Amino acid sequence: MTDISKRPVTLITGFLGAGKTTLIQNLIAGVGEKILAVIVNEFGDVGVDGDLLKGCKADNCPAENIIELTNGCICCTVADDFIPTIETLMQWDPIPDHIVIETSGLALPKPLLQAFDWPSIRSKVTVDGVIALADVEAIANGRFASDPNKVEAQREADDSLDHDTPLSEVFEDQIACADMVLLTKSDLARPDAIIAAKSVILQISDRNIPIVEVTNGVIDPQIVLGLEVAAENDIEARRSHHDDHAEHDHDDFGSVVIDIPEVSDPLRLINAVRQLARDHKILRTKGFAVVSGKPMRLQLQGVGERVRHQFDQPWEPSVQKQGRLVLIAEQENLKPDIIREFILSELNPSDKS
């Protein structure tokens, strides 16, 4: 059993676009009167995920309980960001009953686990569990295959696939550190794809961890909160590609932030995002748009060419309406000026000549 004097912390990890924010939204709504604090670590300068969570406006997790860390990957800024944030939370009155951390899609959970041995916090918090989210479709498409022979076969069949990118190692490290894996977007996948995804995960993990299928992030909070694993105590059992490296470098990835004008046709924006994903191998797109004649903001969440959109909430009267997109890609594919010019020209076709 976990020491009751310590506050439980749940780490929510997973690749870009796996559905971490949606899961946390559902957890906030489903935990009843338990007071939550959520730490959101985003890759890029704009806190879209934090904005979404603050929009929940739940009594048990008000906006001030959503803390955004945007100075870089949380596993690389432990001393500057993470430790001071936990120390501050432990001084709140009341202290949150449970802390949930949403890591960036590029974060490695193991260095973060090691931070829980920091002298100033190790007697106050414990890692209740590490929950890794994995997109069924992404795994089934062979993007993170752990078998070198299968990787080589896929590479020979399709020259556009590159399985030696840092993405594969990030994914494998997240799975290897997890106490539970949630297979997301399973409603969009074929039964054989789900079987294939589970097989890949079991090959990666050295431990017998549960794998649960979820749709739209809906799951009973009792399944993922209250595991009482104390994960910081068995760090050595959670192997990592980076065990022999002192630092974890994200120079292979980058982001571009684009302020976009009010749009009259949302489909034009969505098609432009899909085109960018094809032409520049954009990994992740997220943001909001102002739509003419609509009192609500349009939320966009994209993984590659797959873009979901919905009117999520009214614009706050005190907030200036401004559309904004964050696009994340590997540095070699990220050309900010070209990407920005393309989006703006697609939204303003009269500017084309």
Q: How much is the pLDDT for 129?
A: 93
Q: How much is the pLDDT for 75?
A: 57
Termini Cα distance of the chain = 68
* Two tokens, residue 216: 């739209």
Q: How much is the pLDDT for 125?
A: 94
* Two tokens, residue 137: 């479709």
Per-residue pLDDT of the chain (353 residues; tens, 9 = 90+): 344 579 999 999 987 678 888 898 888 888 888 888 988 876 544 444 445 444 445 565 556 677 777 655 555 555 557 788 888 889 888 899 999 998 877 777 888 888 888 878 888 999 999 999 998 887 877 665 333 343 344 335 433 333 334 577 888 889 999 999 999 988 888 899 899 899 988 888 888 889 999 988 888 988 899 888 989 888 888 888 766 554 545 556 677 888 999 999 999 999 999 998 888 888 778 888 999 999 899 988 787 787 888 888 888 888 788 998 888 777 777 888 998 899 898 887 654 44
Q: How much is the pLDDT for 52?
A: 46
Per-residue exposure over 60-78, b if at least 16 CB sit within 10 Å of its own CB, e if not: bbeeebbbbbbebbbbbeb
| Rounded (10°) CA dihedral 143, 130, 305, 156 | 0
Q: How much is the pLDDT for 195?
A: 92
Using a 10 angstrom Cβ sphere, with 0-12 exposed, 13-18 middle and 19 or more buried, the burial of residue 230 is middle
Do 312 and 296 form a contact (C-beta atoms < 8 A)?
yes
Strand partners, 298: 289, 311
Strand partners, 95: none
Q: How much is the pLDDT for 252?
A: 62
| Rounded (10°) CA dihedral 150, 130, 23, 269 | -50
Inter-CA distances, 306 with 128, 270, 278, 302, Å: 33, 10, 11, 6
Inter-CA distances, 331 with 254, 292, 334, Å: 5, 34, 5
Report d(CA 165, CA 241) in Å as an integer: 13
**DSSP run (H or E) holding 100:** strand 98-102
Q: How much is the pLDDT for 236?
A: 81
DSSP string, 233-275: GGGGGS--TTTT-S----TTEEEEEEEE--BS-HHHHHHHHHH
Q: How much is the pLDDT for 2?
A: 46
For the full predicted model, state whether its pTM sits above 0.75. no
